[in-house]
Structures are given as C-alpha cells and as structure tokens.
Amino acid sequence: MLEQEMVKIQNISVDARKEWKGYIEKVESQFVEDTFSAADTKVAIESNLQECSNKVDSSRKHWEDAQLGINQLIKCSTAEIDSIVADKCSSNQVAFENFVSVSSSIDAEFNSRACDLLTTVNGFWKIMFLLWWSLYHLNTLPLFVDVSSDVYWGDMDTCIFLK
C-alpha cells in the first residue's frame, strides 16, 4: 500500500507537474502575447502622441501666422484710416475756408447792395419830398408863360396851349 500510495503521489505529482508546465507554458505564451500586444500598443500610442504633437505644432504655427496677419492688417488698416481721416479733415478745412470766403464775399456784396438800395430809397424819398414841395409851392406862384413851349401856366390844374 505504501507503494501504491507512493505511485499515486508520484502520479499526482506528475499530473501536477504537467498541469503546472501547461499552466506555465500558457502563462508564458500569454505573457509573450501580452508583451507583443503591449509593444504594439506602446508603438501605436507613441505614434498617436507624435501625430498629436505634430498637429499641435502645426496648429500653433497656424495661430501664430493668423495673429501676425491680423496684426499686419491692424497696422495697415489703422494707417489707411488715419490717412483717410487726415485727407477728409483737410478737405473739410478747405471746404470750410471756401465757404467762409464765399460767405464773406456774399455778405459784403449783400451789404453793399443793401446800402445802395437804402441810398436809392433815401434819394427817391428826397426827390419825392422835393417834388411834393415844388408842386405845393407851384400853386402859390404867380402865373407865368413858358415862351419856349408856348404854354400858359396858371394854377396846377390849368395849362393852356397858346398856339
């Protein structure tokens, strides 16, 4: 029985070794597979990381270029706007000076003509007064004969032709 027990234990030991060997082979195989898989994953991750890094660098470069372009546009636009504003201010100043000049000229001409008109009106009223005064006093003058025209003058309402 002891022999049988020993054989049994040896058989169990052999079976256990076979199982253990199978398990070790399986684990080794799984380990090798996992190692290759991990290596492949590592390579893929490194590749993806490099690709992302390249895209980030490219994006950064695009943003820098865009910022430079915007800054250049701002400089050019500001200079152009300043130039346009200066031109418009200059044009407005010239137009204002022309307006003031024409306005002054028209004002002077208006004042001159207004003075002329006032002088004419005053002269007209002086003539009207003199005419009225003359006609008023003509009625009080004695009769006379205008020899050059053969007209006899009496009062203001009477005029007789002698011929």
- 159's CB contacts (< 8 A; 6+ apart) are 151, 152, 153
Quick check: pTM over 0.75? no
Mean pLDDT of all residues belonging to the chain: 83
Write the pLDDT tens digit of every residue in 8-52.
888 888 888 888 888 888 898 898 888 888 899 999 999 999 999
pLDDT of residue 140: 60
Structural domain range at position 114: 2-161
Concatenated DSSP letters for 50-116? Answer: HHHHHHHHHHHHHHHHHHHHHHHHHHHHHHHHHHHHHHHHHHHHHHHHHHHHHHHHHHHHHHHHHHH
75-110 confidence digits (pLDDT tens): 888 889 999 999 999 999 999 999 999 988 998 898
Domains of the chain: total: 1
Q: How confident is the model at residue 67 (pLDDT cuts 50, 70, 90)?
A: very high
| Residue 77 to residue 45: CA distance in whole angstroms | 47
State how far the Cα of 131 lies from the Cα of 121, in Å rounded to an integer.
15
Structure tokens at 153: 């003058």
Position 54 pLDDT exceeds 90: yes
- Identify residue 133 by its one-letter amino acid code: W
Percent of residues, the chain, with pLDDT higher than 70: 84
